[in-house]
Amino acid sequence: MFRTAIKPRRAVLSAAVAGTVVGGGVSQQSDKLSIYPSATPDILLVDSPSELENQIGVARRQAQSVYSDAHAEVQSWVAKWIGVEHAVEYRVKSIIAKDEPLTPGALYVGVATLTGSIIARNRFLPTRLLLPPIFLIASAQHFLPKTSHNLSAYLGSLEDRYFPSVAQTHDIAKAHSAMTWERVKDATKDGRASAGKAVTSAVDSIQEATGLKLRETFGWQKEQVHILEDKVETFKEEVGKKVKEEASKIEEEVGKHIDEVKSRV
């Protein structure tokens, strides 16, 4: 009985001794250095900006946004200006006639305008105001007729677009001035014809009274005179027809402009 009780005690003691031996061996093995190189552990660096850096970043982003907006605005204005330059260049090229050299013509126009201002220097105020533009328009019509026509057409289109009432009044004034000019031309032609007839009748009366051959001296012949008179009459008729046609066309255009203005109003 005592033997059986002693045996379990011995077993427990042997197990405890074995545990201590094993633990001591493990601790001794852990204290020893390994013959293999140990792996270096990974080091992770976490970037945590400070409050000053955050404020600097915010200011920098705002400055970049303001700069980008300003740059876009400047680029838009530059694009608009380039468009205006192209439009002006195209308009100037369309106004200037290609078959009219500007080098002498513009110089002549400038000299004529300066001459008008010099002539009107010591005159009355209305003369000083009106004479230089009259010289300018007349010289431009003479030396640069096509360019002047293109410029007047462009100004007329602007007037029709932005000032329709003024354009209507202008068209009526043009029609009246054209009709007056044609009447003056007809009157001068009639005066020339009547003066020619008076001269020929006077020459005939002198020739009959004195017996001198004035017609032969002047190189006149009756047949030539009659032919010339017939030509003058036919020319007068043709001019009268053309004047009537132009007057009717002008009246139609003025009526159309009046109707357009009434419809707009």
Q: Give per-residue pLDDT as tens, 95-152.
A: 888 888 888 888 999 999 999 888 888 888 888 888 888 999 998 888 888 998 888 8
Residues 171-225: tens digit of each pLDDT: 787 777 778 878 877 777 777 777 777 777 776 777 677 766 656 665 555 555 5
Ordered DSSP codes for 69-91? HHHHHHHHHHHHHHHHHHHHHHH
CA distance 106 to 216: 50
CA distance 43 to 64: 36
CA distance 20 to 56: 64
For the chain, the structural domain boundaries read 163-265
State if pTM tops 0.85: no
